[in-house]
Chains A and B, each alone.
Chain A
């Protein structure tokens, strides 16, 4: 009941303070700082690409398969498109925008903010949290059934599940989001469940129960906010996995549809020409690797700091 009695002003302050604390935690860890910088670098590049790229990313304005030179800093691809521009624009589908299919209600054919990797992880967070909270808090049959379902999902090797989903539903941004959601949810749910099992024995949960709060209120207003730290760290890692998965699907030729550049597709296109142009493979590969490493470092650093902080 503390929150209800305190004035809005103090609550705001405390939220600000909490934000400040979080930021301090990040910058206290060198590892987390480096990771965050790497991630922010790609976000920044992606935002810039929304308004400006050196050349038009989808247009063959140059000769094919040029090596890096003063005009095209990273060279050109097999269609004579500027690789730097494509690399920048490639951030968009992963991090910044999701293209909806033409027959989607209302927004058909348009793009919505938030990249495929982010929406996918958001999806698995949502689904995983609902399942994990229910399993952990309600226990009993709920727990049994949910865990059995999750076991079934976990049993699929991820790539196999992706292949099956795409074989069944076809290519598209939404399909990839769905695949990431489904493959990610079991992991999130297991984490949420174990954290919930720990937290539900705490006094403030007992208090809420005695107050007669509904189960959903307890799960989402009392438990969820208190486990967001580890959950945040986990989702950082998951965004990394998702980017990796999108790249792999692009490489297998069944990822995000053209014409917008996507790093995995860029690697796949470039590898066909690798025997006479090795340069085109390197930038998108490095992009995937650095973004994933950045997310990993950020998550690692954050986790270490949180652990230290809690001790």
Chain B
């Protein structure tokens, strides 16, 4: 074992849990990524944590995350390189154009869509930043420190950062912004996230560069919450409309914003971060977002009229992936299209019928037909491999005979004859119709006769919790214990529990998992939770979607982010 740059004692000084986590890394019980995440969360400098992790002998480097996929194209272009760029190669200047829908924008704290956050984040910045590797690092913060009981968090601000109106970034700005988040009149989704703070009196200014948070319950994910997309830091005199008053510490200046039309940014000259060539970032001179629909966006990207397309759909990916001018970067997510059954209604109240339908999923085929194979196969539980507490399970095979046997048993008992007629409802905005049509066909030999009821998205969202059998899209959550209580508990009935499924053992385990900081212990509990969901749960889940960042090859330092964030400060154009 190599010599560590810090002793266990020094680690303990940062946070008592770090030495324990390190020994787990040594034994190979957690991956390097998990260690990095935990150590940085608990206040260790990301650089230091990386060095320590590199010194460890154990730990698999499991990263299905942030891979750069190189294009194997026929014209023999050089493949995408991930090697760090050298200073001499970096060029300044240029314009980057992107196709992305633009809606109404006013108060950043109220943002409820990522597109808007992608606009705001060019002008304003966050206290922390979660990179494509899912590790959160300080951004406007210099560092943070948590007390042993995780009830007091100290935020230390970087010094010398200037807003684009010339004012210095100080604790007052942080206090003001926390005030906006915690102000009920603003209506920020941060309010729910920061439920561990009791209003603004929980946010204490120690001096101009230090802010202390007093929590009413232990919370490990404070730094991650500070990168929730509405959480940009605003100037202390902000009046409520970022379009009229585009003041922030970020690398670009907002020149024009017209909803449903376009947004134009120009480079800021005195940004606080320096590039690799020693001058201030950003490298690019101009960013233009043009609001078009996705189909037009694909054509525009193909013909070189835009350089990137926000959040491409699978079909767009397929159309664009072989274009020699474009670099496609993919990243796995915890987003999925869930086949969900109402357990309070016939025939789905019988677990044999539910299990039979789950057996009818030929997961690889569904992934291929609906998502061109771009994703990770899943078990029938709402826990994704990229979530830290996921316990690995074998992928269930396609088993129409087994399903048929179960259905025949059910039918004999009920005195009905097969095929069993059911209606599958879903919407047509992502690739749900493809899943539905493939499933209909896969389930036919098992004795299901599925009628499809496909509507436009609003038609489905108006009744998504009510239909007997449906396919619902669920978005990415960084950890599984954040999602499961939303959809599979007694309290969630009447809210997002679309299946009405309630299971005492499941709920007890879930509560236990929520209170377990130790990732290995949490994974052991999660293993049981996954088994319960697979055995008697209300959902089928064939795959986890991948998302892509597709950008012209000229642009370097581009990252694919699991939630499709555009981080443009150090992107440069190799013209």
Contact = CB atoms under 8 A, between A and B. Distances in A.
Touch A–B, Cβ below 8 Å:
yes
B200 interface: no
Interface size class of chain B, counting residues whose CB lies under 8 Å from the partner chain = 20 to 34
A200 interface: no
B318 A273 contact: yes
A78 B428 CA distance: 15
A59 B441 contact: yes
A104 interface: no
A303 to B, nearest CB: 40
Contacts of B295: 271-272
A54 interface: no
A230 interface: no
B456 A60 contact: no
A271 B298 CA distance: 11
Contacts of A272: 295, 298, 315-316, 319
Nearest to A257: B454
A60 B302 contact: no
B302 A275 contact: yes
B454 A258 contact: yes
Contact of B318 (A59, A257, A276): A276
B433 A258 contact: yes
Interface of B: 295, 298, 302, 315-316, 318-320, 322, 368-369, 372, 428, 433-434, 437-438, 440-441, 452, 454-456, 459
A63 to B, nearest CB: 9
A227 B441 CA distance: 51
A210 B336 CA distance: 77
B568 to A, nearest CB: 27
B552 to A, nearest CB: 16
Given A80-B369, A171-B456, A258-B454, A60 B315 contact: no
**Which of B298, B316, B318, B456 has the largest number of chain A CB atoms within 10 A?**
B318
B445 to A, nearest CB: 12
Nearest to A56: B441
Contacts of B441: 59-60
B419 to A, nearest CB: 15
A48 interface: no
Contacts of A259: 433, 437, 452, 454
A206 to B, nearest CB: 57
Contacts, number: 51
A258 B452 contact: yes
A257 B318 CA distance: 25
Nearest to A58: B437
Contacts of B455: 171, 257
Instruction: State the main secondary structure of chain B at its contact with A.
Output: helix
A175 to B, nearest CB: 13
A269 B315 CA distance: 10
Of all A-B residue pairs in the complex, the 10 with the closest CB atoms, nearest first, are A275-B319, A272-B315, A59-B441, A259-B452, A258-B454, A60-B369, A79-B434, A79-B369, A60-B438, A275-B302
A229 interface: no
Interface string A258-294: 1100000000000111111000000000000000000
Interface string A222-262: 00000000000000000000000000000001100111000
A273 B315 contact: yes
Interface residues of A, number: 20
Interface in A35-81: 58-60, 64, 78-80
- Which label, helix, strand, loop or mixed, suits the secondary structure of the A interface? loop
A170 B455 CA distance: 9
Contacts of B320: 275
Contacts of A60: 369, 437-438, 441
A276 B321 CA distance: 10
A249 B21 CA distance: 59
B540 to A, nearest CB: 18
Interface in A76-95: 78-80
B447 to A, nearest CB: 17
Nearest to B451: A109
A274 B298 CA distance: 11
Nearest to B454: A258
A59 B438 CA distance: 7
Contact of B319 (A59, A171, A276): A276
A1 to B, nearest CB: 57
B444 to A, nearest CB: 9
A271 B294 CA distance: 12
Nearest to A272: B315
Contacts of B433: 258-259
Contact of A273 (B319, B434, B454, B459): B319
Contacts of B437: 58-60, 79, 259
Most buried by B among A79, A170, A171, A274: A79
Nearest to A170: B459
A60 B372 CA distance: 14
Contacts of A59: 437, 441
Nearest to B302: A275
Contacts of B318: 273, 276
A80 B298 CA distance: 22
Contacts of B454: 257-259
Contacts of A276: 318-319, 322
Given A58-B440, A78-B434, A258-B454, 8 more contacts: A64-B372, A78-B315, A79-B369, A79-B438, A170-B459, A253-B456, A271-B295, A272-B319
Contacts of A275: 298, 302, 319-320
B436 to A, nearest CB: 8
17 contacts: A59-B441, A60-B369, A64-B369, A78-B315, A78-B434, A79-B437, A254-B456, A257-B454, A259-B437, A259-B454, A271-B295, A272-B295, A273-B318, A273-B319, A275-B302, A275-B319, A276-B319
Contacts of A253: 428, 456
A272 B316 CA distance: 7
A80 B369 CA distance: 8
